[in-house]
Structure 1
């Protein structure tokens, strides 16, 4: 048992700095995962303090792809303190086990693994946290195919502990970024690099770098670029090669700014390649950890022992790269020198004094043990009776902040659910479960329903599609209503899009109140201009200015309309037309020819003039001669005739 609450059962996994056990929270009766740190770190007060701060930070991460952190604590025993973390138990396996069975993942499956991984990292980066140890061992695959990232905050706490100095590289060498090796610095782009290396391994079945020692692998990250994965898996598209190379550039400035930027690039490429999400399979594996039970009839348990180098799996696995989180010495700069410290043997007097002190400590420990046992017997009797039960205090009607303070003061926690309410002001507790006065175990949670107040009309911009506006109102617990009689013409908002809502955005209304949606009917209809009798150029200019597209619809004869001038339009003048797009209007022009004045002209000259107008000359004369003069004509000058008509003249 850890702190008389968490029962420790079988070993799930061992790592370089901790052991993970399956366990049970006996207070809440739920299965949990217990990560117990190596005693080397548990004995370091600086680490314990930093670890507690980071555990609280990790517990604030609420994301479906993050393994939830429930609790942390220190189990203080005579043989040493045990720092532990209580986490969500994910039934399934690690991504490493998927790789060991699959070898190389198909591209759609690799993307389906990386997408939730980056989503979890994006939530951490938004909260100001850096994971620092992204690797397949820290990515869990549930039996339902879900993907979750574990160990948020833990590596950051370790890197900040007193056991880590400027001469120590902390992390998993196969996935270390160059800056982690050279300076120890880490930011969101450090996680981007490690995620890029994981993507490389998913697509090729191996990490990009391998070597005889951990440091040789680490320095390859500093001095060599990650190769394109298509060198091993040729069928990969170039866009995937480019994505991996961008994420793993040695210069952090060349990588995506954070996991959210990396995820956006992955989504864009997935859409371009038409990659659809696929389930991630969980390999069928045997139980790999022997479980020991002190009581044949009781649950299997295992003694928690300090982790030694012998208990840690081989750092180099079949994947070809170091997998365990390691603390490695960083070699000094070229000009830096090292000195050996000689061991000094204590004198006989010093040995006697040390033995005397050890005897005093043994006596003090025995006395303390007796007092502790007596106190535990009395305390246990009280605790097993009524001491562990607490009455739920009154929190209904209080603000959320006050209610949480009241529950914390009663050694209870709060689980918040929010809902709209027409009567209770926003931020006020509507109800609690269990109710006031109920007796529950100390440390349990009380479900609080907190009011969001009345719903507000959402901010629906002009031009929003009608379906989107209706859904936004339903999401706000309001009822959309379409009144076509209220629709209006608008020159800017397209037909069918939202023009406004009534009441306006931000208005508070009772739940399920009706909100009317006013929809645009597009630009208002306009009449076709009357351009009858106008010249072609004048008519075309007037129609274009009114929003129409004019075109020549043919020519006709009209004795009342001059040639090349408008007889009519199609649609007819003053017809009301809806300006949807740019409606076309046909223009019918006159082909009439105006007869010139031929009187007093020589017949030969008149003939040429009429021929230029498409008319013919017919001469009536008593004496035919070329230079005869015209005395009269029919039709008269100024008359309008059809093309090809004959003009008769009398000449002398």
Structure 2
């Protein structure tokens, strides 16, 4: 019989498509709130795990909104020890809506499978090698302002490559705010719930530390510290008993590990490590002091299967766990449980735990004396009084309506009810800036007087951030993503800029400060460097004047040779390379070749004696050819060709007539 058939649910999804992109291939497992399937992202051709929430949540708008926000927050957790969240959505079809989450597919087993395969206890080195990455993942979440709220072995995955990954961030919080639950409901796995989650429903980073301490206890001993016939009896133990040192069951454990477990599971949250990062630091100090090196983890052969943070449909709920020595504990399911009430009926429920054994003894021993009855009544009164004191009978108040109210009005309403507000801010496309999006616990929930209510206040639509000119593209893209927007490059829109270097950002489009919907595109305008400059017209200039003109334009001139040009005087510019008028980009100082004229200007020789004329033309690199009717000493020149002022090539001959 397949898991789909046994569960009676989910078979219709197998073989189908969600949002026309994600193919549902097979059911992996089912938990308290959802089912997990192996699937395929047909767009990217990538295997994925698809968590589909139970139908009771699909029609609850408050759950869907919170689910989307928590999924976006979880998707921002980029950490090697966190199961990556790829996408979330709501598939709407004729058979109803399916709220789903698309995650990294992890091949391997859960920590629960590993514990059971090992017969209960894990070796000490293996225990610490699991706990360290588990705390590292929680630390990343706490630094991002997230709280897991349901830390347990089922949500810790062991990959076939030995990796440890934590899954299911934020889902319990989303379900806790859904209309299907109320303020009197505890949502979580009772064996790992912190006392404050039982009494008020509130949870912070220290609540995750408590649950991690319980998981550590279970890895060391093979069982959680509290098991019982009912979920309420286990919850009662969390509230009223201190978690015992694990050496009570495993005597050879080092004292340092006892201290680590006891400190992490203090009933008073203020006495625990303030977050997973601090807990991890303490763990590393203990590991170093004990000289315990990390070990490679391996998935037991019988457990090599695809798993994704859910238990099979036939897994027993928490209250059915047998309290037997070191017997491995069955998988724990996230469940909704009625929070202990604060009226007389609540007192009777808890007092019955202590009174029932006494009535049994009374029936066995017969009628007591009046004095003994008086003592019994006094003992019962003390028990009831102690329970009432711890659970705060009469000291609970209801969370007022704050959703949809301006932040100041919400804080005033909470103060009027004897509560305080802890504000975090998120962008929202529809809710105006400064208005409360949600509260945890929600409206009408019962919270101990003086407690804290988490408020999510809208920042309104995200605004295009201010990007300084000259910022790198990577820095600009990061700033845009941090503003909940999507950066875009369009090279056709890049521009020249005289001061912003090539490849750096000039600006953005739309302009900074423009409000946009979440994930809307913002185009980066990137510099192509300085605009190109035309090579100035230096033809006919002297060498020195041309070099000065080119240098002033940002170029580096150099002499590129000489040529003859009858129209250009010697040592004056004939042409340039690149050519005059060409556009050249001023990257550095571009070199410009200058071609000079080698023309020689013919001097006037008329009236000179032949001997003097020969000396003058020789100095110019020219030759003299003399024609005369009679050869006589001291002949005078009375005609010449070329004419004076003509430009000739070096070595040319000047013809003269003398007499």
What TM-score do the two structures reach when normalised by structure 2? Answer: 0.50
**Matching residue of 1:206:** 223
Corresponding residue SS for 2:252: coil
2:329 to 306, 320, 326: 320
Deviation string, structure 1 residues 31-90 (Cα, Å, up to 9, x no partner): 111000000011211101110011101111111100010000001011110000000111
Kept after mapping to 2: 8 A contact 1:167/1:329: yes
Partner Cα distance (1:269, 1:408) in 2: 44
Q: How does 1:360-371 map to 2 (within 5 A)?
A: none
Corresponding residue SS for 2:102: strand
Q: 1:87 to 1:289 in 2, by over 3 A?
A: closer
**Matching residue of 1:246:** 263
Kept after mapping to 2: 8 A contact 1:10/1:289: no
Q: 1:164 to 1:176 in 2, by over 3 A?
A: same
Deviation string, structure 1 residues 79-130 (Cα, Å, up to 9, x no partner): 1100000001111111111001112111111011000010111111111110
1:126 aligns with 2:143: yes
**Matching residue of 1:116:** 133
Give 1:199 deviation, angstroms: 0.2
Q: 1:238 to 1:71 in 2, by over 3 A?
A: same
Partner Cα distance (2:346, 2:221) in 1: 42
Structure 2: tracts of 5 or more residues without a match: 1-16, 322-326, 348-471, 491-499, 508-518, 528-659
Deviation string, structure 1 residues 512-537 (Cα, Å, up to 9, x no partner): xxxxxxxxxxxxxxxxxxxxxxxxxx
Q: How does 1:373-392 map to 2 (within 5 A)?
A: none
Q: 1:105 to 1:310 in 2, by over 3 A?
A: closer
**Matching residue of 1:142:** 159
Corresponding residue SS for 1:234: coil
Kept after mapping to 2: 8 A contact 1:110/1:203: yes
Kept after mapping to 1: 8 A contact 2:106/2:306: no
**Matching residue of 1:163:** 180
1:285 to 281, 302, 324: 302
What is the count of residue pairs matched by the alignment? 357
Q: How does 1:82-121 map to 2 (within 5 A)?
A: 82-102=98-118, 103-121=120-138
Partner Cα distance (1:423, 1:72) in 2: 40
Structure 1: tracts of 5 or more residues without a match: 291-306, 339-395, 413-421, 430-442, 452-652
**Matching residue of 2:67:** 51
Partner Cα distance (1:207, 1:15) in 2: 20
Kept after mapping to 2: 8 A contact 1:91/1:142: yes
Kept after mapping to 2: 8 A contact 1:135/1:195: yes
Corresponding residue SS for 2:86: strand
Give 1:182 deviation, angstroms: 0.8
Partner Cα distance (2:102, 2:252) in 1: 43
Q: 1:230 to 1:80 in 2, by over 3 A?
A: same
**Matching residue of 2:79:** 63
Q: 1:426 to 1:235 in 2, by over 3 A?
A: farther
2:205 to 153, 167, 188: 188
Deviation string, structure 1 residues 165-224 (Cα, Å, up to 9, x no partner): 221011001101111111111000000000000000000111111101111111111111
Partner Cα distance (2:106, 2:68) in 1: 23
Partner Cα distance (2:25, 2:59) in 1: 24
**Matching residue of 2:293:** 276
1:72 to 64, 69, 88: 88
Corresponding residue SS for 1:75: strand
Kept after mapping to 1: 8 A contact 2:340/2:346: no
1:400 aligns with 2:477: yes
**Matching residue of 1:329:** 338
Give 1:400 deviation, angstroms: 2.4
Q: 1:108 to 1:424 in 2, by over 3 A?
A: farther
Corresponding residue SS for 2:315: coil
2:44 to 28, 41, 48: 28
Q: How does 1:555-566 map to 2 (within 5 A)?
A: none
**Matching residue of 2:573:** none
Partner Cα distance (2:230, 2:50) in 1: 31
Deviation string, structure 1 residues 545-591 (Cα, Å, up to 9, x no partner): xxxxxxxxxxxxxxxxxxxxxxxxxxxxxxxxxxxxxxxxxxxxxxx
Corresponding residue SS for 1:268: helix
Q: How does 1:525-604 map to 2 (within 5 A)?
A: none
